[in-house]
Amino acid sequence: MDSGPVLLNVVDVEATCWGGQPPPGQVSEIIEIGLTVVDLAARRRVSRHRVLVKPARSEVSAFCTDLTGLTPAEVASGVSFDEACRTLAEAYGARQRRWASWGDYDRRQFDRQCRATGTPYPFGRPAEHGHTNAKAVFTEAYGLRKRPGMAGALKIAGLPLEGRHHRGEDDAWNIAALVLDLVDREAWPRTGSPA
C-alpha cells in the first residue's frame, strides 16, 4: 500500500556579511531563503523556491554581493523577515514538515533572528526537533573525520554543483541532491512527516 509522499524542506539561507566585523549598528540578517521540497518516498526533488528578504538592520556589502551575487537593489525588493517566515509556514508547510540544512548555521540564524525581532519561528518547535543537520549525516555516512562544505561533499559524492555556490536557491537544490544520495545509501534518518 502506498503511503504517499513524505516531504522534506531543504533550506539554505544567505545573510548580510562583511569581510570582517559588521559595521557599527549592523547585524547579520537573512536576505535570501532557498527552499527545495524533496519527496523522500519517491526519492526526488519536487520543487525549488526562493524568498528574497529585505534587511532591516543591515546593508548588503560589496563583499556580500561578491560572495552571493545578491545586490542591495535586489534584496531591497524583498519581503520583510516576518512575511518571509509566514510564507515558509503557510506556503511550504514549515511547521508540519521536517527540514534539513547543511550544518546548523541556518537553524541558528533563524532562531537568533526570530528572537531578536519577535517574529514567530516558522518551523516546528523546539528548534532542534524537526531539523536534520545534513552535513553531520553525510560525514557519518561517508566515514569522514572532518565535516566537508557543501561543494566538497558534492565532489565526494560524485555529484555536480548546479548553479551558483552561495546562492540560497541553488545551494538548497544541491543540498537536496546530497540528501537524496544519503537516502539511496539508506543513511538518511527515517523520521519524516507526511505531506
Q: Among residues 182, 181, 180, 149, which one has the least CA distance to residue 165?
A: 149
Q: Is residue 1 a part of any domain in this protein?
A: no
Number of domains present in the structure of the chain = 1
Q: Is residue 78 a part of any domain in this protein?
A: yes
Spatial contact of 109 and 28, defined as CB atoms under 8 Å apart: yes
Q: Which residues form the domain of 61?
A: 7-184
User: Would you call 8 helix, strand, or coil by DSSP?
Assistant: strand
Q: Is residue 141 a part of any domain in this protein?
A: yes
Kindly report the three-state secondary structure assignment for every residue of 50-92.
Answer: EEEECCCCCCCCHHHHHHHCCCHHHHHCCECHHHHHHHHHHHC
pLDDT score of 190: 79
Summarize pLDDT for 125-142 with one digit per residue, the tens: 655 568 999 999 999 999
Q: Is residue 189 a part of any domain in this protein?
A: no
Spatial contact of 37 and 7, defined as CB atoms under 8 Å apart: yes
Q: Is residue 193 a part of any domain in this protein?
A: no
Grid cell at residue 194: 507526511
Summarize pLDDT for 102-121 with one digit per residue, the tens: 999 999 999 999 999 999 99
pLDDT at 65 > cutoff 90: yes
Spatial contact of 111 and 146, defined as CB atoms under 8 Å apart: no
Mean per-residue pLDDT over the chain, rounded: 94
Q: Is the full-model pTM beyond 0.85?
A: yes
Q: Is residue 190 a part of any domain in this protein?
A: no
pLDDT score of 187: 97
pLDDT at 191 > cutoff 70: no
We report the CATH number of the domain holding residue 76 as 3.30.420.10
Amino acid at position 47, single letter: S
pLDDT score of 16: 98
